Structure 1
């Protein structure tokens, strides 16, 4: 099993918490999944829910997992949860339906609550509009399910329980892993991802290679960037600096690159995109350098608010003032003239901009989640990845992200303007 090679930084192993989002689909399901993911009143079509059932059946038929570095992790529960289910969600456990649960205390023989394949299908189909990935709190309160969670445990007490979720996004099944240390990906999680997520998805025909959904890699702010707001600037610069080399990196099958942005600058735009004026890089470089020079109290209670007021507010304004051509066409209409749109964007009324669609989120490095009021949810998201279906490609992508983190810890900020081409 391939691994991410880890490095020691300042006397300790850099071992950040990382969450992965993968996407799987099939051409004849894309329209059905779009309808199911964003229609409030209709339950899942049988074609979509059947695919979920087939995935779960494939998982349960896989022989015991394990690697040379760890004792096997076993499936212990499959649960239907509300769509916003997180440890800190105000709706935590509003909806919590165990589809399958195993008793691991009787001679290590699992006893599942559903005794046959037919029962498994009946249970999944009976979950109210399950897997609807809706951003509507009333639906959560009305006990709509939004995800299926597969939970694992190991006999090795030193290793944590682990889980991944099946949800829906535009035209695809979106897979979300729980935040996991890189060392634990190496020890056991890559094995689960390859055998239960990737291979089982392919086994049931979720093998469309259109790139629908892409892949995103989320890095925890505290463990990945040391909770240091200056480190975010280093990560932005490092992402821009690595752009050219990464976009040449081929997938394992050699058919295309790992990067998402070969011909599009919508989902993962770079600051230095050709359709963006040079003023963006110049003004952002000046903003970054200005932020680094001022007195910052990074360990003080007001550090987070200082970041929002002194950097992020202006960053968001610049992203919206200088969109890519793809952003402009998508959010403002293809007939809109750039000059007419951007002249209406000011720092004072950014929320009322004519195309207020969170353009700042659709960047190669999305930093919008740093502003989260809950510290545990602050993270950066690397977005420039084509949909990944191969474990070697996933390890390559994660190694690329890890390299940017390592460099962010080691590099001097004095080169920010150079990295942005200013």
Structure 2
């Protein structure tokens, strides 16, 4: 994502910890910022100092002795899923195949298996971290546990992660299947059904076998925006139809249903992971949805599309993922485990002149969904921040923000890496 694109003084491509140590020591001595590029999707990939381009360092190793996976910082989610899937295992990954697994885990990490497995950090076992002084730390619940606690959710602020080790899980047992497949359905509705959809979402109780995504999109050839539900169900077709009866009863205008091999579970989302152009995101958490908010969001998208230009790919994504399993964990400093609904307005365009329009769209959507006052009970997913949030909005409390700041001051006193 190139929204925060800045011209650096240097770009260093490396697949070596020793080279990274040299770079960060040089940056620390010369008061230069360092930004790390792994998967290449983050707005934090750029800085005016040195970009460490680790995209080519994408080694993935499956350990048969303990059924864990180790990967380097350039490893993409889709490839890690494939490596695990080939061994009859699954991993907690994101929704998009082209997102880097390291950055997903460093931010906390949501994905279609979150209702079953919790957040990504709940599957993190250990990591290797290079600090601003060039020191290499192995961090885990047993080794440097204080650093591990901060790294799990705020790790981008502490240094360069060169390796992660994560849990894997048996596919068939996890997905409630015998053939390593997932029930997938896509259901399309006109925005005129906003009231019925909101009422359903306000009353629906999805179980741990259901991962629901809702997108508000503009159809390919102009026309009015549409709601598209994308649902994974981990179980039989019959159980899926029973659990999703409320959605089917709304009579979608289009439907596509199939069983998908686990390793291809995210293939339906490849378009949203397309590289290039600007994709401006803000991630705001909700505890409830209102008709007024949904209708205001639709209006915000209609206003954006009315501008014309190159904004037609823009959309709004809702992640409706049960957090019951995640709430039982206390791994890391991720503060918003009580939030089951995340709204992510995504403005997609190519002309820098539309930066201001993109920013306004994201804020208009968030304001509508928050009932008119975007500051009230506002919670923000740190990886999709707008940049002007208060510490308690990102980290849940000033106390947590202070703990992160204390660890950053210890490992990165000159602020070489990303601000928290």
Do the two structures share a fold, i.e. TM-score over 0.5? Answer: no
State which structure, 1 or 2, has the greater radius of gyration over its C-alpha atoms: 1
Q: TM-score by structure 2 length?
A: 0.26
**Which has the larger helix fraction?**
1
